[in-house]
Amino acid sequence: MSLLELHSINKTFGPLKALSDLSFAVGHSEVVGLLGDNGAGKSTTVNMISGIHRPTSGYISVDGIRQDFANRRDSAEAGIETIYQNTALVDCLSISRNIFLGRELTDRFGFLDLRKMRDIAMQVLESAVHISGIDSPDKMVGDLSGGQKQAVAIARAVFFKRRVLLLDEPTSALSVRETEALLNQVLKLKAEGVSSVLVTHNLYHAYQVCDRFVIMSHGTKVFDVAKADTTIEELTQHVVLT
């Protein structure tokens, strides 16, 4: 049974048809590349899986159980974490406060357990995410580089035991070295049983780490293939020509 599955999803925004009859699945410990040119409907798909948009028809299932995400918290509870291009972090808060934002550790009066949050943040940053330059969880996120910010977002996902990471154009703002580190991180998480959906139009980055590719065009799936059965040339053709 697939971990995450989309069942013939349609989505319209008024007269605009954003997605039509889109179905695909993400297996356990699998990295799927969701590819397509600009405007193919990738971002709408991501927003749908993370609960920001609701499908007009069709549905999403996790572990075969039908889900109805009304907001991002619902998808997070089902084990899905979305990491956006402009990662959803607040620059003027520290790393540890960002990791726990919206899920703060508090006493029963709502006061923050800053020490515990700090200790856990430090642990997660040391053990789960290996991006250099983050030496203290008290650092302001605004002072971090693009790669470090994504590392913090991933650390957040790891700590909250997400099973699927949705990475929306994760490499577009990163340096070459940071991109390498991020892709390695995806593979490392896969080894630990965390699946990822890599949404990108950079086929080379996707080809490096993905087990399977789903190519979208004009709001629907046009190609779905395992890495072993295809080549980067064939993928390029499908992205460009459809």
Partner 1 sequence: MDRTVTEMTHTHAAAPSRSARDWLYRLLSMPAGAILLVFLVVQLACILAGLLFPDDFRYLSSANMGIMMRSVPVLGCLALGAGVLMIAGEFDLSIGSVYTLTAVIMAMLVGLGVDAFLAAPMGLLVGAVIGLGNGFLTLRFNLPSFIVTLGGLLFWRGAVLLINGAVQVRFDPNPVFNALLSGTILGINAAFIWFVALCFGFWAVMHRHRLGNHIFATGGNRAAATAIGVNTGRIKMIAFAIAGFLAAFAGILATTRVGSVQPGQGAGLELQAIAACVIGGLSLRGGRGSILGVFLGVMLIFTITDVLLLMRAPGFYLDMFIATLIVAASIFNHGLDRRGAES
Contact residues toward partner 1 (CB under 8 A) are 52, 71-73, 76, 82, 84, 86-93, 97, 101-104, 106, 110-112, 114, 140, 142-143
Closest approach, Cβ 224 to partner 1, in A, equals 28
Decide whether 133 or 193 has the Cβ nearer to partner 1. 133
Q: Which is nearer to partner 1, 102 or 193 (CB)?
A: 102
**Residue placing its CB nearer to partner 1 in the complex, 80 or 203:** 80
Q: Is 133 left (phi over 0), alpha (psi -120 to 50) or beta?
A: left
Go through 75-89 and write b for each residue having 16 or more CB atoms within 10 A of its CB, e for each that does not: bbebbbbbbbbebeb
- Quick one: 97 or 190, whose CB is closer to partner 1? 97
- Count, residues in the chain: 242
CB of 227 to partner 1, least distance (A): 31
Q: How far is the CB of 147 from partner 1 (least distance, A)?
A: 14
**Cα 121 from chain centroid (whole Å):** 20
> Considering the complex, what minimum distance in angstroms separates the CB of residue 73 from partner 1?
4
- The neighbouring-strand residues paired with 124 are none
Helix axes 176-191, 146-159, angle to 10 degrees: 10
